[in-house]
């Protein structure tokens, strides 16, 4: 079975102390993950070491950075490189989140470079893609995500592609309380997998976890994660509420 993943994206929320308490609460629920399940906490940079020590004794629980720079190193004041993340033992990094694309002007080409930086530094990138509302209303969502994959992932080898996690996040569903229907999610995830299959072969496509993101909550996670091509979720708002996120982890396929 492909890895089933519950990934929390805290964004720019919570103080260090609140974050520590939240992780204590979630880990304190003692949800035992199967070997095919993972939980990943994408926390703000200053909390990565705290997060690492929180999950140190927990099997299949990890921390992720929410971003990294697309260059190896240099005069980029305020930025953080994949190499720096690796040097403190971070093994996952969110790349190309729609908020980074929208507010920080990240392009598909830069996202491709970030993917390379991650892979060169033994970090699994959690690559985000997804369409805005106007794109969906124009019926262009499949072409839109196909272009995102083509421009950011198609330079990889099949072997490298197996080391990438994809998160499909329709922008109109992020933080809006509006969720894609299970039919919409399954249709898009199957489309993404077929693109991967065409480019990298079926066996690679079958091994890549594709998460759904966009207002995943405790009350819709099981239904969404139950879709054959949905391998868990990338969760924003609901990941900041311990009891909610615990239920979301519990909704992963077994």
86, 169, 189, 244: the catalytic one is: 169
Cβ nearer to ligand PEP, comparing 175 with 226: 175
Binding site for ligand PEP (CB under 6 A): 9, 11, 169, 174-175, 213-216, 234-238
What is the three-state SS of the chain?
CCCEEEEEECCCCCCHHHHHHHHHHHHHCCCCCCCCEEEEEECCHHHHHHHHHHHCCCCCEEEEECCCCCCCCCCCCCCCCHHHHHHCCCCEEEECCHHHHHHHCCCHHHHHHHHHHHHHCCCEEEEEECCCHHHHHCCCHHHHHHHHHHHHHCCCCHHHHCCCEEEECCHHHCCCCCCCCHHHHHHHHHHHHHHHHHHHCHHHHHHCCEEEECCCCCCCHHHHHCCCCCCEEEECHHHHCHHHHHHHHHCCCC
Cβ nearer to ligand PEP, comparing 171 with 200: 171
Cβ nearer to ligand PEP, comparing 156 with 174: 174
Give least dist CB 174 to ligand PEP, A.
4
Cβ nearer to ligand PEP, comparing 86 with 101: 101
Task: Based on the residue annotation, tell me whether 169 is a catalytic residue of this protein.
Answer: yes
Task: Based on the residue annotation, tell me whether 106 is a catalytic residue of this protein.
Answer: no
97, 99, 131, 189: the catalytic one is: 97
Residues recognised as catalytic:
97, 169
């Amino acid at each position: 079975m492909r890895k089933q993943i519950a990934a929390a994206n805290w964004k720019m929320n919570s103080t260090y102390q609140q974050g520590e308490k939240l992780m204590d609460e979630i880990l304190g629920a003692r949800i035992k993950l199967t070997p095919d399940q993972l939980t990943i906490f994408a926390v703000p940079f200053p909390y990565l070491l705290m997060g690492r020590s929180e999950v140190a004794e927990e099997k299949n629980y990890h921390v992720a950075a929410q971003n990294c720079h697309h260059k190896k190193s240099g005069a980029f004041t305020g930025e953080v490189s994949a190499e720096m993340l690796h040097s403190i033992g971070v093994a996952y990094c969110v790349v190309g989140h729609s908020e980074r694309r929208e507010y920080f002007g990240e392009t598909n080409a830069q996202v491709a470079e970030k993917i390379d930086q991650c892979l060169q530094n033994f970090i699994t990138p959690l690559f985000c893609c997804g369409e805005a509302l106007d794109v969906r209303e124009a019926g262009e969502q499949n072409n839109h995500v196909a272009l995102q994959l083509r421009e950011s992932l198609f330079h990889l080898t099949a072997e490298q592609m197996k080391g990438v996690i994809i998160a499909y996040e329709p922008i109109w569903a992020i933080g809006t309380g509006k969720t894609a229907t299970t039919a919409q999610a399954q249709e898009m995830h199957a489309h993404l997998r077929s693109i991967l299959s065409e480019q990298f072969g079926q066996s690679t496509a079958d091994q890549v976890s594709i998460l759904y993101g966009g207002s995943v909550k405790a009350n819709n996670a099981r239904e969404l994660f139950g879709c054959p091509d949905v391998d868990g979720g990338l969760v924003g708002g609901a990941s900041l509420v311990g009891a909610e996120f615990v239920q979301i982890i519990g909704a992963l396929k077994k």
